[in-house]
Amino acid sequence: MKQSETTKNVTEKRSTKEKYDSYLDIIWTSLIFFVIIGTGFMMNPVFEFRKKLIENNSTYEFPKVTGLILSLFIFIVLSISQLLLCSLFKKTIVEKTLALKYVNAKDEKMEMLANIYRTKLSIHLYKASFYLLLSIYGFIVLKDYDFFPKSLLGKGQLENMFLKGYPQTFYFKRTYYFDLYYLMNLGYYFSDFACLLLNEKQSDFILMLLHHICTISLILFSYLSNFCQVGAVVLFLHMESDIFVHSTRYLLHTRFPAIFAEISGVILTINFIYMRIFVFGKIIYVIYYYITWEWGNIVWSLWLFLVFLFFMHIYWSYALLFKAYELLFKAKLFEDTANYNKTLNKKIDKEK
């Protein structure tokens, strides 16, 4: 009887939520369609832009198209390493730190949640570790460039990348390690995109799909057109802020004192808003201030991609502030209910 009532309540709530989510899905799906179409139209102009820059300065060593093969190799390596390391983390660190209420599951619900979090926490631990290592490497590579801003603990300012004007801005001195950093990010996003498609779909699947398509397009086109100064800074602030996203999600369901998760959540919220709104917003403003139509449609198109990502960051910042408020002042944690209901929904669907 109790299970029947629970199933009925879940079904009713699910029906209301699905109606709301369906409208959002239509909006995000439409945006994905337009982004994919826009990306397709950009391919030929990007290569034309690249060809023109090479002709203007034949002595400059432009990013090689064959370098993309390295990013595909990195994609394969990262995909395999994620599978292996997540499996290792799941059996070791996660098992030793998973919250005791899940380890000592007393009913079917807790057993279900325990299995869900063993998988999720291993992924969060892998991503937090990877983002930390890539951010350290990125900082070492970028810190001495005159365009790496003091707001990111660098020695320069964003404006320096544009002071030479067009087309000299595109002929900045790159190193092998700079290119490797760029291609490692591209390879990672290919890997994460594959995981997004192959793994269990989350509630924000379409939004994340849109974000990944935009990000991969930006990395690819900025690499081919050598607009890498902007791209490197954008990639760094994304990776750095994501460390706290996954460390917080990890701590929420471990046996560590709740204060650890709360502190991490506060750092995450402050860091995310600083990186993705303040620093990222400054990048968008500086590009708009310095470039003219002489720079070409490709540069403006890349700028519009950044603006679109910026609005997504505003949306996520609002969501973070709301969740931080609920966690700190109302002691609410929604993930248990959401994950249990999702599992229950699957059972309902199978019964139908």
- The predicted-structure confidence for 133-154, as pLDDT tens digits, reads as follows 999 999 999 999 999 999 999 9
Q: Long-range contacts: 88-93, Cβ < 8 Å, 24+?
A: 89/121, 89/122, 89/125, 89/126, 90/118, 90/119, 90/121, 90/122, 93/125
pTM: 0.85
Query: How large is the C-alpha radius of gyration of the chain?
Result: 22
H helices of the chain, in order, are: 2-56, 67-91, 93-97, 100-103, 108-142, 176-198, 205-224, 228-251, 258-273, 280-290, 297-329, 335-351
* DSSP state for residue 255 in the 8-state scheme: S
| pLDDT at 185 > cutoff 90 | yes
Neighbours of 247 (CB within 10 A): 23
Whole-number pLDDT of residue 233? 96
Whole-number pLDDT of residue 348? 44
Could you give the 3-state DSSP secondary structure of residue 343? Answer: helix
Quickly list DSSP for 198-235.
Answer: HSPPPTTHHHHHHHHHHHHHHHHHHHHTT-HHHHHHHH
- The predicted-structure confidence for 321-330, as pLDDT tens digits, reads as follows 887 777 666 6
Dihedral of CA 84/88/94/97: which sign? negative
Q: Measured between alpha carbons, how far is 275 from 281 in angstroms, rounded to an integer?
A: 9
Could you give the 3-state DSSP secondary structure of residue 252? Answer: coil
CB-facing half-sphere around the CA of 258: CA atoms within 13 A:
5
270 Cβ neighbours under 8 A, 6+ residues apart: none
Over residues 321-344, mean pLDDT = 62
| pLDDT at 258 > cutoff 80 | yes
Whole-number pLDDT of residue 201? 72
Distance of CA 11 to the CA centre of its chain: 32
| pLDDT at 159 > cutoff 80 | yes
Q: Shortest CA distance to 18 belongs to which of 326, 339, 342?
A: 342
Whole-number pLDDT of residue 1? 45
Determine if residue 331 is left, alpha or beta; phi over 0 gives left, psi from -120 to 50 gives alpha, anything else beta.
left
Q: What is the mean pLDDT of the chain?
A: 85
Over residues 87-116, mean pLDDT = 89
Whole-number pLDDT of residue 25? 64
Question: Which residue(s) pair with 254 in the sheet?
Answer: 98
More confident residue, 197 or 163: 163
| pLDDT at 205 > cutoff 80 | no
Neighbours of 311 (CB within 10 A): 9
Residue 320's pLDDT band (boundaries 50, 70, 90)? confident
Whole-number pLDDT of residue 31? 66
Q: Measured between alpha carbons, how far is 21 from 5 in angstroms, rounded to an integer?
A: 24
Whole-number pLDDT of residue 158? 94
91 Cβ neighbours under 8 A, 6+ residues apart: none
Cβ(213)–Cβ(39) below 8 Å: yes
Q: Measured between alpha carbons, how far is 164 from 156 in angstroms, rounded to an integer?
A: 15
Residue 112's pLDDT band (boundaries 50, 70, 90)? confident
- The predicted-structure confidence for 10-30, as pLDDT tens digits, reads as follows 455 555 555 555 666 666 566
| pLDDT at 83 > cutoff 90 | yes
* DSSP state for residue 256 in the 8-state scheme: S
Q: Measured between alpha carbons, how far is 217 from 42 in angstroms, rounded to an integer?
A: 9
Over residues 254-276, mean pLDDT = 91
Q: Which of 208-217, 278-287, 301-310, 333-342 has the highest mean pLDDT?
A: 278-287
Cβ(302)–Cβ(227) below 8 Å: yes
Percentage of the chain lying above the pLDDT 70 cut:
81
| pLDDT at 189 > cutoff 60 | yes
| pLDDT at 129 > cutoff 70 | yes
More confident residue, 18 or 306: 306
Over residues 240-248, mean pLDDT = 94
Cα dihedral 26/32/35/41 (nearest 10): -100
Residue 254's pLDDT band (boundaries 50, 70, 90)? very high
Whole-number pLDDT of residue 336? 57
Q: Measured between alpha carbons, how far is 223 from 49 in angstroms, rounded to an integer?
A: 12
- The predicted-structure confidence for 214-226, as pLDDT tens digits, reads as follows 888 889 999 999 9
